[in-house]
């Protein structure tokens, strides 16, 4: 039974590696845009530095735990790719952002990770206690990492727009969380399993919001297409001949001109009738004189 459970754990660990690999590669379009424009353009380096720190912690935990090769493989790749991202950001970022990134690296990677390794390995903890303490640190930090996307969820609900949710990344994160949760459950390692419950919940919430607000945006778009707003009130005349488009101001001038022509015609008609009546009177006078 233990061998059977181990086989399933290995299978889900491999799947977790695959989906986590896709998650680690998801920022590539962002950094490609940075490379093309030769500027970081307001992008933040914090997610990359935090991901680097998290991967280093999990590698350390995997070495202490032993028999956790799948944790080592994916987090080694994570350290490699996140280091490239951070270096890329530092190269193209403005001076202030570059200094902030270097400070964050020193605080988390050098100070934080170095302090954890030094304290847990040399002074305080030994054996199974050391593994449990480092695992608890990984658990807490992973929970903090999974809580971060809740800011995106809040932004989506506030703006009712899905532009802040990368849908494919949400899918990969959710699937990755599911695989690592089952992997931790089969190995009875709650330090791996528990954080991924929150990861799955947040990823599922993002996808639900995406579907809900994406449909709303599509309906609004259809309404706008069916009932377009006329800003300049332009009237288009369709006829056999190609006629120019007339604006509201031009239409008003034409109506005024029409009214003027109509009044002129009425005046000419009245004048003509008056002249005819006067001429008839003259004829009648001449007839009487004769």
All structural domains of the chain with their residue ranges: 2-226, 230-290
> Is 229 in a helix, a strand, or coil?
coil
Tokens of 50: 């935090």
Distance between CA 174 and CA 178 in Å, rounded? Answer: 6
Q: What is the mean pLDDT of the chain?
A: 77
Residue given tokens 């390995």 in the structure block: 121
What are residue 235's phi and psi, to 5 degrees? Answer: -105, 130
What are residue 189's phi and psi, to 5 degrees? Answer: -110, 95
Distance between CA 194 and CA 37 in Å, rounded? Answer: 41
Q: Tell me, what's the pLDDT at 242?
A: 52
Q: What is the pTM of this model?
A: 0.69
Distance between CA 166 and CA 172 in Å, rounded? Answer: 10
- pLDDT of 142 > 90? The answer is no
Residue given tokens 């290995």 in the structure block: 10
- Between the alpha carbon of residue 141 and those of residues 2, 23, 144, the distances in Å are 30, 18, 5
Distance between CA 12 and CA 178 in Å, rounded? Answer: 9
CB 220 within 8 A of CB 211: no
pLDDT band of residue 44 (cuts 50, 70, 90) is confident
Count of residues making up the chain: 290
Q: Tell me, what's the pLDDT at 15?
A: 95
pLDDT band of residue 4 (cuts 50, 70, 90) is low
- pLDDT of 256 > 90? The answer is no
Tokens of 93: 């970022």
Alpha helices in 227-290 (DSSP H): 248-289
* Eight-class DSSP state of 42: T
How many C-beta atoms lie closer than 10 Å to residue 213's C-beta?
18
**Dihedral angle computed from the Cα positions of residues 6, 10, 15 and 16, in that order, rounded to the nearest 10 degrees:** 90
Distance between CA 225 and CA 236 in Å, rounded? Answer: 18
Report the chain's terminal Cα–Cα distance, integer Å.
143
The larger pLDDT score, comparing residue 198 to residue 2, is at 198
Q: Tell me, what's the pLDDT at 3?
A: 57
Q: Tell me, what's the pLDDT at 179?
A: 95
What are residue 246's phi and psi, to 5 degrees? Answer: -110, 130
- pLDDT of 225 > 70? The answer is no
- pLDDT of 38 > 70? The answer is yes
Q: What is the pLDDT of residues 77-115, one digit of tens each?
A: 999 999 999 998 999 988 888 999 999 999 988 899 988
Distance between CA 200 and CA 178 in Å, rounded? Answer: 6
The angle at the Cα of 30, spanning 23 to 198, to the nearest 5 degrees, equals 35
Residue given tokens 């802040």 in the structure block: 164
Distance between CA 52 and CA 108 in Å, rounded? Answer: 9
Q: What is the pLDDT of residues 204-216, one digit of tens each?
A: 888 888 888 887 6
């Amino acid at each position: 039974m233990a061998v059977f459970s181990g086989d399933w754990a290995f299978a889900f660990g491999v799947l977790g590696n695959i989906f986590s690999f896709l998650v680690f590669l998801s920022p590539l379009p962002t950094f490609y845009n940075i490379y093309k424009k030769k500027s970081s353009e307001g992008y933040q380096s914090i997610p990359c530095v935090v991901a680097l720190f998290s991967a280093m912690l999990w590698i350390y935990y995997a070495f202490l735990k032993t028999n956790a090769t799948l944790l080592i493989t994916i987090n080694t790749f994570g350290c490699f790719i996140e280091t490239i991202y951070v270096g890329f950001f530092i190269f193209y970022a403005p001076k202030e952002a570059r200094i902030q990134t270097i400070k964050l690296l020193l605080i988390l990677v050098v100070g934080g990770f170095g302090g954890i390794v030094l304290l847990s390995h040399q002074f305080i903890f030994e054996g199974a206690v050391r593994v449990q303490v480092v695992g608890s640190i990984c658990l807490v930090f992973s929970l903090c990492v999974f809580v971060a996307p809740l800011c995106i969820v809040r932004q989506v609900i506030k703006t009712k727009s899905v532009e802040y949710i990368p849908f494919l990344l949400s899918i990969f994160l959710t699937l990755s969380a599911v695989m690592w949760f089952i992997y931790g459950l089969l190995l009875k390692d709650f330090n791996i399993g528990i954080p991924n419950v929150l990861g799955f919940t947040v990823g599922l919430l993002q996808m639900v919001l995406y579907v809900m607000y994406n449909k709303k945006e599509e309906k609004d778009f259809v309404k706008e297409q069916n009932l377009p707003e006329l800003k300049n009130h332009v009237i288009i005349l369709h006829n056999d001949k190609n006629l120019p488009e007339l604006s509201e101001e031009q239409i008003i001038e034409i109506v005024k001109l029409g009214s003027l022509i109509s009044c002129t015609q009425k005046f000419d008609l009245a004048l003509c009738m008056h002249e005819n009546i006067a001429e008839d009177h003259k004829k009648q006078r001449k007839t009487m004189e004769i």
